Amino acid sequence: MKYVGDIKDNKENGVGALYELKYYKVYEGEFQNGKKNGKGIQYNQNFIYNGSFEDDKRNGGGVFFRINDTEKFEKYEGNWKDDKKYGFGKQYDETKLIYEGNFYNDKYNGNGILYVDNGFYKGELLDNNKHGKGIFYFTDGNYKDLRYEGIWKNDKKDGEYKLIDKNNNLIKEGIYKNK
């Protein structure tokens, strides 16, 4: 490891750059008491992160890009807590927004909007799954311009539901069990 920058009391303090050559990791930004604290940019051959740090971890707002060839491209802009997505954020894949809403421990949790090929879901999520009250808006296929309002459990329809058209006319209602 190599550090170039401001030093106070024999520790990294102020602005500097930390090079971890073994892992090809670089951090350029603010330090306090020998730790990454404040605004900075961290990158290696797999990712780039530009945002806030506290006690050597991503904390606060920032933008993260995964850029390696072995995993899918990923962009996340939002809040972090202890190196995990936490609070409000937006997740993108190679071409589009796939989720915007609340995160907890790197997963979709709480209220959010999940975008999929044939529409989007707006409602409650738990550990990346539709879970609780929500509305699925169909934007393509046989159900185009319809919306499904109901209860979800572990990403499956489970409970009372209504299928409604774009003019708010009730098309169908019933009860699903784990569908």
Binned average pLDDT, 10 residues per bin, the chain of 179 residues: 93 94 88 97 93 98 85 90 98 92 97 95 97 96 92 95 96 88
Instruction: Identify which of 95, 100, 48 has the alpha carbon closest to the alpha carbon of residue 79.
Output: 100
Residues 6+ apart with CB under 8 A from 97: 90, 91, 115
Q: Could you tell me how many helices (H) and strands (E) the chain has, helices first?
A: 0, 15
Start and end residues for every CATH 2.20.110.10 domain found in the chain: 1-105
pTM, entire model:
0.88
Q: Mention every residue, 6+ apart, whose C-beta is less than 8 A from residue 43.
A: 25, 26, 49
CATH architecture entry for 1-105: Single Sheet (2.20)
Amino acid 46: pLDDT: 87
User: Quick one: which of 179, 173, 172 has its CA closest to 156?
Assistant: 179
The pLDDT value recorded for residue 68 is: 67
- φ and ψ of 21, to 5 deg: -65, -35
Report residue 98: phi and psi, to 5°. -115, -20
CB-based contacts of 158: which residues, under 8 Å, 6+ apart?
151, 152, 176, 177, 178, 179
